[in-house]
Amino acid sequence: MASSRRPTYRPSGRSGSTATGAGSGSRPASRRPDTDAGAVISASRSIPEPVKEKPATSTKRGSPKTFRLRGPGREKDKPALPSADAVNVLAFPEPRGKRRRRKLLMVVSTVAALVAALLAGAVYSPLLALQTVSVSGTRLLTPAQVQEALEPLRGTPLPQISDGDVARLLEPLVQVKSVSVEARPPSGLAVAVRERVPVALVKQGEQYQLVDVEGVQLATTDDPASVSLPVIDGGAGTIGQDLFRATAAVLGALPADVLARLSNASAQSVDAVELKLVDGQTIIWGNASERELKAKVLEALLKVPADPKNPVKVYDVSVPRHPVTR
């Protein structure tokens, strides 16, 4: 801090010199500084000494440090910026709901990955390769025929085999109407076959063909008596497709026990289908409408005990709600 002391001027004379007073009547002699010993002009001014900064000390970890600025005439204390390692960061906890969602997502992802790995292993695993095929539901076919048709599937993992694959391989076997498949791990396959139902025999040359309601030829036989099915007079080629389909539709509606009692079937037109029983009785069926009702009525009439004195020769069910016997 600057001193308020003013500079002083002290004239200095030679040793022993004195000033004369005014009363001496003489004029005071003028003096000028002696260049040899001359008057010494001294000026003093206090100059501030530099202040050495003391290192700031901290009694507590993390407290801010201070440094001093010395300017002309005053000192200032300012807080120093804290260092990075002295800053305490306040961490807020993560919301519980968000933490749960993250954990749930991780669990779901892990389970999905495991399931995908297991499925991939099962689909392509050689441990599940097809080795044996069991067949059920065959009457016209033999199990060996079905197994031979499915031979291309051998060695294929069971998860890769579908009902459609089996059905495509069995298409050449016309006796098969539908099929269902069941895998039996580790290497088995169960095939349930639903065959077409033969409803009549059609004579073709010296042989008789078994046909279903759609006219599909299912098998052949040389002895019609060995098969409990009626013979369609003339065959499909002679009576025409329309008459054949009408007759076959009627036969397909009959119960198995009634069908076994038939001898033959014929049709003069699509509205005049007639059936013959092995006992010689005639069944007038009419057209192919209301087949289910007519079949039930005919079955009931055939169960009525026969009267030896008045045997029934004709069963007319062309009008099923008003059947006639004579």
Residue-wise pLDDT for 166-194, tens only, equals 999 999 999 999 999 999 988 899 999 99
Cα(273)–Cα(248) distance, rounded to whole angstroms? 10
Q: Tell me the pLDDT tens digit for each residue of 98-110.
A: 778 878 888 888 8
> Residues of the chain whose pLDDT is less than 70?
1-92, 94, 117-125, 234-239
In sequence order, which residues have a C-beta less than 8 Å from that of residue 78 and are 6 or more positions away?
66, 67, 69
Q: What is the pLDDT at residue 122?
A: 60
* pLDDT, the chain, mean: 76
Which tokens in the block code for residue 285? 């069926």
Distance (Å, whole) CA 267 – CA 15: 179
Which SS3 state, helix, strand or coil, does residue 86 take?
helix
- Angle at 157 (CA atoms; ends 151, 160), nearest 5 degrees: 95
The residue type found at 203 is: K
Tell me what pLDDT residue 18 has. 42
Note the maximum CA span of the chain.
Answer: 209
